[in-house]
Amino acid sequence: MSAANRAGILAAASGMALLCVVPSAYAQSAAEEEVIVTAQRREQAITDVPASVSAMGGGELAARGVDRLDGIASVFPNVSINTGNGLRTTDITVRGISSEPNNPGIDQSVGVFVDGVYQGRPTTINTSVYDLDRVEVIRGPQGALYGRNTIAGAINFITQTPGDETAFDFAVSGGEYDALTLYAGADLVFSPQARLRVSASSQDRQGLTQNSFTGTDMDNADEVGGRVTFVLDAAPGMQLTLRADAATNRTNAGAVEVLNNGAFTGSPVADANPEDRSVAVNVDSRQDRDVWGASIQADWSIGGGELTSLTAYREYQWWNVQDNDYTILDMLSTGIGENQSQFSQELRYTSPTGGVFDYIIGAYYLHETLDTIAHATIGPDLVPPYVGGEEARINADLGVDSYAVFGQGVYHFNDAWSVTGALRYSHDEKDVTHSVQADPFEVFGSSQAARDLSRSDDEVTPSVSLNWEPAPSTLLYASFSRGYKSGGYNAFSISPSDDAEFAPEFVNSYELGYKTNSADGSLYFASSIFWLDYSDLQVNQLRNVGGIPTFTTSNAASAEAYGLELEARWRASENFSVSGAYAYLDASFNDFVDATAGGADYTGNVLPQAAEHSASIAADFRSPLSSGIDLVLHGDATYRSEIFFSPSNDADFSQDGYALLNARIGFDFGAWSLMAWGRNLTDETYALFRSGGVIDPTQQIQALGAPRTWGVELRGQF
């Protein structure tokens, strides 16, 4: 960071601090409608959390018509959720930092948790969004209280729990491309001590892209999922919560448009239009996924506080195939098969609040196994001796054992001033068994016998914040935290001459924040400025390994990011509300030399997926038409400035700034509602990723975001 930029940030901080010392005229008592979150492992008003936290409740998710993760992709400041056009490669970026989702040996930079359970791989994240109580996003490293490797932030999905009365709710949505989404949920009360919630969802949609060669609809949707939650008050002061969920997908997702035909330009197999949502390939993309899991949470009231045990098991299977010459020729297709399972156990004690000192202490254990196969099928149009079907395979069986102890304490000097300190010790063990089965003609190299590799990391990650509450529901804080992401192996790049091993990644984070909520909950405002200093950044790069250019992960870079985040919500009246967010981000490599096999220097380049400006706005209006009938209007828009998909900052692998507009209009009859909806109303064409070709590096390929879609939704509750 230059001296001028540091001065600008400090000046902004000083100005913000001066604004903060004047309490809002409305903040005279505890907010009646304060947003409650569990970002720090206990229920707190959002204005009591000294961190950058955003939350969206189930009601707002329904108002926006969110049914998949990309529905909240750009709503939160400095948060990007790029699900691509497939199920496996969800890339979550917070404040410019993300991880390569294709490498099974690298951990996520943003931890994703569902009901407190860490989701070990990005393959499981992009499922349908339904029956949620809220979504919480915590920006910045969360290395003290959370599970593994939350070096950039954490996302919490909290599902609905059974209500106190028997009830039923449903939603049916149909639209363009023969889209049909079904949802149903029910609360069953067996007694005041035993309550059950059951919910299920189904999503089906024809493809957004057509394969003109095979006639197959590509980029379709086909998912069925269900969830069960049982709450039992087993004894006075003791509650058990049992959860189970499952989902299955069978799709032709993953279609790739050819942006530049490279060596195929002018030939009969060239793609004439990179944005016509039509491809011509001899191998249809195929993505199959099955995921399920179960957990049991026990909460005991002890000594005025609460002891919590959370035991969970999760598992998924994945298989896909993809055409990699992007033509009707039979040259090359590839895919990945994965079989993953994980067991986790967390134990923590949360002290009561209201005294001079409150605290949380705990311990965590995770065991994960991931057996993966990368397969490549070579056809006769690539190597004439082949008859087709000859296959090469990379086999990697990965194992993880992670242990941690953690604690956080808050000391209250008085009603206005407090200091929060936290510490986590982490020990991570990783091992991999790797082998290669070459194709018969060894086009891509020779076979490799099985090799066993192992490594371990130990790290202590602290955080501290000074907190000032000049008025109720108003908080100003200054914080420092250190984040850590464990090392590992690039499972698909191991060779006899290179273990493809990389070391841990670290960040020092500095933040100044302000948030306030009016007494009646009608006005909420939050702002933060931050500076992140990353070292030993884990990056995917093309390097010379034994004289052969090889994609691998290494600690080749350092980076920094600084910026500003603003959020506001205003309920102007009972019938009208508006919310918005804006973020500024400067995220770049401080040092990234020898970034390619040719020795390129990417120092000073912008980090991938890091938009300098991003913004969102949403408005809701309700007007009574007659007794029991309301007109309901909703509109929301998001904007992201230019992003690069590659650290090279090549203009060919970038996406210009664009805005997306969504809207809903309909009638609320009390127990049920009927809404018409539209997404991407301006029919904006934009890329989810762009990269070079596999066989021909001069090719340029891309995947496109969804076009304009529309439909009708019926909701009811009884």
Q: What is the pLDDT of residue 36?
A: 83
Non-local (6+) Cβ contacts of 10 within 8 A are: none
Q: What is the pLDDT of residues 665-675, one digit of tens each?
A: 999 999 999 99
Q: What is the mean pLDDT of residues 589-596?
A: 88
- What is the overall mean pLDDT for the chain? 89
The pLDDT-based confidence of 544 (bands split at 50, 70, 90) is low
Q: What is the pLDDT of residue 338?
A: 95
Q: What is the pLDDT of residue 543?
A: 59
Q: Are strands 194-205 and 221-235 parallel, antiparallel or unpaired?
A: antiparallel
Task: At 169, list the tokens.
Answer: 């709710």
Q: What is the pLDDT of residues 313-361, one digit of tens each?
A: 999 999 999 999 999 999 999 999 999 999 999 999 999 998 999 999 9
Rounded to whole angstroms, the Cα distance separating 85 from 107 reads 21
Q: What is the pLDDT of residues 96-106, one digit of tens each?
A: 998 777 788 88
**Assign residue 671 a region: left if phi > 0, alpha if psi is -120 to 50, beta otherwise?**
alpha
Least confident of 440-449, 536-545, 660-669, 672-681: 536-545
Task: At 33, list the tokens.
Answer: 């409608």
Interior/surface letters 210-244, b for 16+ CB within 10 angstroms, e for the rest: bbebbebbbbbbbbbbbbebbbbeeeeeebbbebe
Q: What is the pLDDT of residues 221-240, one digit of tens each?
A: 999 999 999 999 999 999 99
Q: What is the pLDDT of residues 141-160, one digit of tens each?
A: 987 887 677 899 999 999 99
| φ, ψ of residue 204 in degrees (nearest 5) | -140, 135
Calculate the alpha carbon distances from 78 to 139, 230, 487, 529, 583 in Å. 8, 36, 26, 11, 6
Nearest to 663 by CA among 614, 623, 713: 713
Q: What is the pLDDT of residues 292-325, one digit of tens each?
A: 999 999 999 998 999 999 999 999 999 999 999 9
Q: What is the pLDDT of residue 28?
A: 29
The three-state DSSP-derived secondary structure of 200-237 is EEEEEECCCEEECCCCCEECCEEEEEEEEEEEEEEECC
All structural domains of the chain: 3-396+410-717 (2.40.170.20)
> What is the Cα 590 distance to its own chain's centre?
25
How many residues are recorded in the chain? 718
The pLDDT-based confidence of 550 (bands split at 50, 70, 90) is low
Contact present, 250 and 288 (Cβ < 8 Å): yes
Contact present, 511 and 463 (Cβ < 8 Å): no
Interior/surface letters 375-390, b for 16+ CB within 10 angstroms, e for the rest: bbbbbebbeeebeeeb
Q: What is the pLDDT of residue 35?
A: 76
Rounded to whole angstroms, the Cα distance separating 185 from 188 reads 10
Interior/surface letters 289-328, b for 16+ CB within 10 angstroms, e for the rest: bebbbbbebbbbeeeebbbbebebbbbbbbbbbbbbbbbb
Q: What is the mean pLDDT of residues 377-404?
A: 88
Q: What is the pLDDT of residues 77-129, one digit of tens each?
A: 999 988 888 888 888 999 999 877 778 888 888 989 999 999 988 888 888 88
Pairwise pLDDT comparison (692 vs 8), residue with the higher score: 692
Does the pLDDT of residue 548 top 70, yes or no? Answer: no
- pTM of the entire predicted model: 0.91
Contact present, 529 and 549 (Cβ < 8 Å): no
Contact present, 128 and 112 (Cβ < 8 Å): no
The pLDDT-based confidence of 681 (bands split at 50, 70, 90) is very high
Nearest to 254 by CA among 217, 296, 213, 214: 217
Whole-number percent of the chain with pLDDT over 70: 93
Does the pLDDT of residue 5 top 60, yes or no? Answer: no
**Coil, helix or strand for 6?**
helix
